[in-house]
């Protein structure tokens, strides 16, 4: 089996910021409520960019930082729950934008857990020799799925993209993977009005835009339990003790969820990377951007054991242990 690691990372965030104070003008909410209940201060929102443009820009940044040319990429996997359209896949659009002409390419939808689902999937192709270099991207235009009259959801989400190039490494790399799904909980967060129905069904209306509905409190509890379990399981697989972990990078849905996971795992909060204050929940892009910023700010460095952990609508959860290389 080929040892696989992260060779370089990239991000792209749309420049437009939407602060909590801006949201006070849209729905009945307050900066104080949003900050204390979630930790979010502002988020990025697209102006007119499509998800494929965010994905392509993050991909170009990751190729530059890994010093791997697009012509060497064998596989492109994009994690997204908010693609430009049903098809073609974002992965094919990215392939066109970057000129990775020899790659095979497809999308994965595991909502907020998508980036680690994509990372683990791409790793399998490299480990088994079917690909040498893979581009993994998490990209979302999640604000397009939001009902901007619903204060329960509209304060939480943002747009952005992150990416990495995976390839063979001589030591370290991705040591263990954990993927799980709890489909019985799929109604806790879902998109309505965009559901595919027969055009002849009496309930079908073409005028309604799709929007997210969410049962926040139930999700909160399951997020804490499933992320803590995922960390325990993946550390067991990697045969690494909690004390050896230099940094945990979790999905950024709510700072209170992150604190509760740290407490449940008995891991000091200082070891957990948090950047939710700047971006809110960008679904599949959240952990990708957090991983980039953790490396950029030197919170993680070569040789560190890093735990990545996510949960998302579905419900789905995933985790990886990486020895940073």
The catalytic residue positions are: 112, 251, 281
In whole angstroms, the minimum distance from the beta carbon of 18 to ligand ACO comes to 13
Residue 66 or 82 having the CB closest to ligand ACO: 82
Q: Which span (70-78, 209-217, 271-279, 300-308) binds ligand ACO, by CB under 6 A?
A: 209-217
Tokens of 158: 């943002």
Contacts of 195 (CB under 8 A, 6+ apart): 210
Could you give the string, one character per residue 135-154, with x where binding to ligand ACO holds by CB under 6 A and - elsewhere? ----------------xx--
Applying CB under 6 A, does 253 fall inside the site for ligand ACO? Answer: yes
Radius of gyration of the chain (CA): 19
CA–CA gap between residue 219 and residue 313 (Å, rounded) = 9
Where in 213-232 is the site for ligand ACO (CB under 6 A)? 214, 216-217, 219-220, 223
Q: What x/- string results for residues 282 through 321 when contact with ligand ACO is judged by CB under 6 A?
A: -x----------------------------xx--------
Q: How far is CA 13 from CA 138, 139, 141, in A?
A: 12, 10, 11
CB of 280 to ligand ACO, least distance (A): 10
By the 10 Å C-beta count (0-12 exposed, 13-18 middle, 19+ buried), 198 is classed as exposed
Contacts of 182-185 spanning 24+ positions with Cβ under 8 A: 182/222, 182/226, 182/314, 182/315, 182/316, 182/317, 183/314, 183/315, 185/218, 185/222, 185/314, 185/315
- Binding ligand ACO by CB under 6 A: which of 9, 38, 65, 66? 38
Chain residues binding ligand ACO by CB under 6 A are: 29, 33, 37-38, 111-112, 151-152, 155, 189, 214, 216-217, 219-220, 223, 253-254, 281, 283, 312-313
């Amino acid at each position: 089996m080929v040892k696989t690691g992260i060779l370089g990372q990239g991000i792209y965030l749309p420049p437009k910021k939407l602060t909590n104070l801006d949201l006070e003008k849209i729905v009945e909410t307050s900066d104080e409520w949003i900050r204390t209940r979630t930790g979010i201060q502002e988020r990025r929102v697209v102006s007119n960019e499509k998800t494929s443009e965010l994905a392509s820009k993050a991909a170009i940044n990751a190729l530059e930082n890994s010093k791997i040319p697009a012509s060497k990429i064998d596989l492109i996997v994009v994690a997204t729950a908010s693609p430009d359209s049903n098809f073609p896949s974002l992965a094919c659009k990215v392939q066109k934008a970057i000129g990775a002409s020899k790659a095979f390419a497809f999308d994965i939808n595991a909502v907020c857990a998508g980036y680690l689902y994509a990372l683990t999937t791409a790793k399998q192709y490299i480990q088994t020799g079917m690909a040498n270099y893979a581009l993994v991207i998490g990209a979302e235009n999640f604000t397009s799925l939001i009902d901007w009259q619903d204060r329960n959801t509209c304060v939480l989400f943002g747009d952005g993209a992150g990416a990495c190039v995976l390839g063979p490494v001589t030591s370290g790399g991705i040591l263990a993977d954990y993927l799980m799904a709890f489909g019985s909980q799929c109604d806790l967060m879902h998109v309505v009005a965009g559901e595919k129905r027969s055009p002849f069904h009496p309930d079908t209306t073409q005028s309604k835009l799709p929007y997210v509905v969410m049962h926040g409190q139930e999700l909160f509890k399951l997020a804490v339990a499933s992320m803590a379990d995922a960390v325990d399981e993946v550390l067991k697989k990697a045969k690494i003790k909690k004390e050896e972990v230099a940094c945990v990078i979790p999905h950024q849905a709510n700072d209170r969820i992150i604190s509760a996971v740290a407490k449940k795992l008995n891991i000091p909060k200082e070891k957990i990377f948090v950047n939710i204050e700047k971006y809110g929940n960008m679904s599949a892009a959240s952990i990708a951007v957090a991983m980039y910023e953790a490396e950029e700010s030197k919170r993680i460095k070569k040789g560190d054991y890093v735990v990545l952990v996510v949960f998302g609508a579905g419900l789905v959860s995933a985790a990886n242990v990486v020895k940073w290389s």
